[in-house]
Structure 1
Amino acid sequence: MIDLSWMAWTWPTAIFFIAIFALLALMGAWEYVAPGGHPRVGILRFETTRGDRLFVSLLGSAFICLGWLWSTDLTLWYALIVCAVFFLLVFRFV
């Protein structure tokens, strides 16, 4: 048996990983149903696909959360709202 007692698995941590796996699964299903996704050029002025935009959204959200932890004592649930808005903006404009 593997001992994972050293890990701090809390419900927010579990929800975080479940959400990322769900996003990847949904993106895979979307790609299966509608292949290609028609790459487009957005405000960053380079061609991106749906997968690229998902990667940028997840990476940016990680930095938003790290910046949130560094700059404020407020709960990370507020940062989640900022990340959701960032996610929507990336998929719309990038």
Structure 2
Amino acid sequence: MTLSWMAWTWPTAIFFITIFALLIGMGVWEYAVPGGSPRVGILRFETTRGDRLFVSLLGSAFICLFWLGLVGPSLWWALALCLGYALCVFRWV
């Protein structure tokens, strides 16, 4: 499979496939357990699972941008940091 029609690389394709899979997974989770589990966390406003996914994706984007600006192009440690951040968001936000 060639991705040259859009000048994509495999890491870029994997990134967007992962985002798509997360959205599908959240849809299945919502279908299986409706309601979104709204709760008030450390931000002091009510969030649902979808809100927490959005906050974790947005925060992860900023973590990666700061990592690129301050450390360099190797993003493996930034990925680990993003996963830890997402776990903390889903646990406490």
| TM-score w.r.t. length of structure 1 | 0.89
Whichever residue aligns with residue 5 of structure 2, its letter is L
Aligned length: 90
Structure 2 partner of 1:38: 37
Structure 2 partner of 1:79: 78
SS of structure 2 residue aligned to 1:43? coil
Deviations 1:21-80 (A, max 9, x none): 000000000000111022100001110000000000000000001111110125112111
Q: Percent identity?
A: 70
CA distance in 2, matches of 1:58, 1:65: 11
Aligned pairs for 1:1-94 within 5 A: 4-5=5-6, 7=7, 9-73=8-72, 75-94=74-93
CA distance in 1, matches of 2:68, 2:10: 18
CA distance in 2, matches of 1:20, 1:91: 16
- The answer to which of 21-30 and 36-45 deviates more is 36-45
Unaligned runs of 5+ in 2: none
RMSD: 1.4
CA distance in 2, matches of 1:79, 1:29: 28
Q: Cα offset for 1:11?
A: 1.5
CA distance in 1, matches of 2:48, 2:26: 11
Could you list the structure 1 runs, at least 4 aligned residues long, displaced by more than 4 angstroms after superposition: none
Whichever residue aligns with residue 16 of structure 1, its letter is F
